[in-house]
Amino acid sequence: MASAGVSARNVLAPLALAQFICSFAGSNMNVMINDISQDLDTTVKGVQTTITLFLLIMAVLMIPGSKLTDRWGRKRCFVGGLVLYGIGALLSAASPGLGVLILGNSVFEGVGTALLIPPVYILATMAFTDVTSRARAFGIISGAGGVGAAAGPLIGGLIATAISWRAAFVFQALIVATIVLLGRRLADPVAPDPTRSFDITGAVLSGAGMFFIVLGILQAGTNGTLLIVFLALGAVLLLLCGLHFRAEERSGKEPLLSLSLFRNRTSNLGLVTQNIQWLLLMGISFVVSVFLQTVRDFNSIQTGVVFTATTAGILISSLAAERLAKRHTQRMLIRTGFVVTIAGIGLLLGLALASKAVAVFVPGLFTIGLGLGVMLTPSVNIVQSSFSESQQGEISGLSRSISNLGSSFGTAIAGTILVADLSGNRSYVLAMVTLAVFALIGLAAALRLPAEEAQPRERLAAGS
């Protein structure tokens, strides 16, 4: 149930809307790639880089952002992140070239999102203490995120066709202003502690490591040497980061991320499923959007309309999260979600290649939406509920970082395969097969989830 004095509606409305707009930002540009590239005199690769950098900056800064919630307060970080995001949206709307678009969309919106998203899940976890109400809250928030990602192409396409691609960023700024107003009633359940330490070295090493990994992936197909160099550099930095965390813990200091978080098997497997779910959602969205626009010559609105199928699927299954949680175990829902998603990818491959009609993409995208919607909430709930209240800040940041890293992987990996050859169906098939392989990896992780998700000892002791 919601905490005393604050209604569930007052808590959930701004939090769900915030997750919606951040997820929307990651996918709405997909249907405007041709419009943006022509207007700013750039290429599909340039727009892909902008989208990937936005998702990557979110992932890189999500863990530091979650740590700052302890020092600055959850509500303050939430509102501050919204302000930065709004500034970035307006900069993007006025951008005269790709550089300013990257500054506004990738940097300002990315940093703002990294500040505002951890408080969303921390506040929801602390406000809803029993499993059923928390499942409902996470269902609404995760569902809003899934719908935002899936509806991004439709809304972006409508706005771009009716007005301009720039107006889509103005739309984001208006939504952010609305969230700020709704968020005035939010109360921070725990007072900020300005004396809490902040691991700058850990933040730099972890951020740089993830950055170079994704940057290396973006070099695939264009520069093999840089691909190897960046991937190797990223791996070394992440290794150094892990060693730094261990050294900090052994010396009694507080690292950016406690390595104890990775000793929970249930949470680890849940994080893998989260990463792959968002990799699939953003990867499929990018691949299908670009394929429709560059190979099938669809315009923004036609491409956006096709994605209403995904939106409908995610919305239907996400809204049923609470009812499904009462009838089925969370691991069963995650397993089912991956199986259904794999079937959807199969439909996208088979039907799309059999005909050039618009309607052939609908069954696959709808099925994928159903599959992803079924498992988004259980994966979040498994991870968040595996830790005590005192660790919610850390695990929330790690969870969101892993999810956003999955989003950037999806756009970088599948998008790079597709963009390598936009002259026909071959790259589309290769990109979708690659995504299917990742879905199988996610299913394998889901099959290893324990039969019963462990509950935090503190919460069990409290009788909730």
Residue 354 inside a domain? The answer is yes
Spacing of C-alpha 298 from chain mean position = 26
Q: Write the DSSP assignment of 205-232 as a string of letters.
A: HHHHHHHHHHHHHHTTTT-HHHHHHHHH
Separation between Cα atoms, residue 130 and residue 137, nearest integer Å: 11
End-to-end CA distance of the chain: 10
For residues 101 and 81, the answer to whether their CB atoms sit within 8 Å is no
The CATH number of the domain where 359 resides is what?
1.20.1250.20
- From the list 81, 51, 117, the residue with the least C-alpha distance to 380 is 117
pLDDT value, residue 452:
58
Chain centroid to CA 401: 8
CB 401 within 8 A of CB 56: no
List Cβ neighbours of 329 (8 Å cut-off, separation of 6 or more): 451, 452
Rounded to whole angstroms, the Cα distance separating 160 from 186 reads: 34
Q: What is the pLDDT of residues 370-413, one digit of tens each?
A: 999 889 888 888 887 888 766 766 787 788 788 888 888 888 88
The answer for 41, left when phi > 0, alpha when psi is -120 to 50, beta otherwise, is left
Answer yes or no: is 370 within a domain. Answer: yes
pLDDT for position 393:
65
Q: What angle do CA 307, 310, 311 make, to 5 degrees?
A: 90
Q: Which amino acid is at 148?
A: G
Domain count within the chain: 1
**Helix boundaries (H) for 73-199:** 74-93, 98-101, 109-127, 131-162, 165-182
Domain-embedded: residue 239: no
Give the amino acid at 312: A
Helix (H/G/I), strand (E/B), else coil: 193: coil
**Rounded CA Rg of the chain:** 21
**Angle at the Cα of 453 from the Cα atoms of 452 and 455, rounded to 5 degrees:** 120
| Amino acid, res. 133 | S
In this prediction, the residues of the chain whose per-residue pLDDT falls under 70 are 1-9, 131, 221, 389-390, 392-393, 452-464
Range 103-113 burial, b when 16+ CB lie within 10 A, else e: bbbbbbbbbbb
Q: What is the pLDDT of residue 178?
A: 95
Residue 241 has a pLDDT of 93
CB-count exposure of residue 4 (10 Å: 0-12, 13-18, 19+): exposed
Whose tokens are 């989830």? That residue is 449
Q: Are 335 and 283 in contact (CB under 8 A)?
A: no
Q: Which two tokens stand for residue 302?
A: 């036609």
Q: Exposed e or buried b for every residue in 385-409, given b needs 16+ CB within 10 A?
A: bbbebebbbbbbbbbbbbbbbbbbb
Tokens encoding 248: 């900090």
Do the domain assignments include residue 122?
A: yes
Which residue has 């340039």 as its token pair?
Answer: 46
Give the number of other CB atoms < 10 A from CB of residue 357: 11
C-alpha torsion sign, points 68, 72, 77, 78: positive
Domain assignment present for 240: no
Tell whether 268 is covered by a domain.
Answer: yes
Question: What is the structure's pLDDT at 90?
Answer: 96
Q: 288 near 348, Cβ under 8 Å? A: yes
**Residue 295, domain member (yes or no):** yes
Q: Which domain holds residue 263?
A: 8-198+256-461
Task: Give the pLDDT score at 453.
Answer: 45
pLDDT at residue number 456 = 42
- In a domain, residue 218? The reply is no
As a three-state string, the secondary structure of 276-308 is: HHHHHHHHHHHHHHHHHHHCCCCCHHHHHHHCH
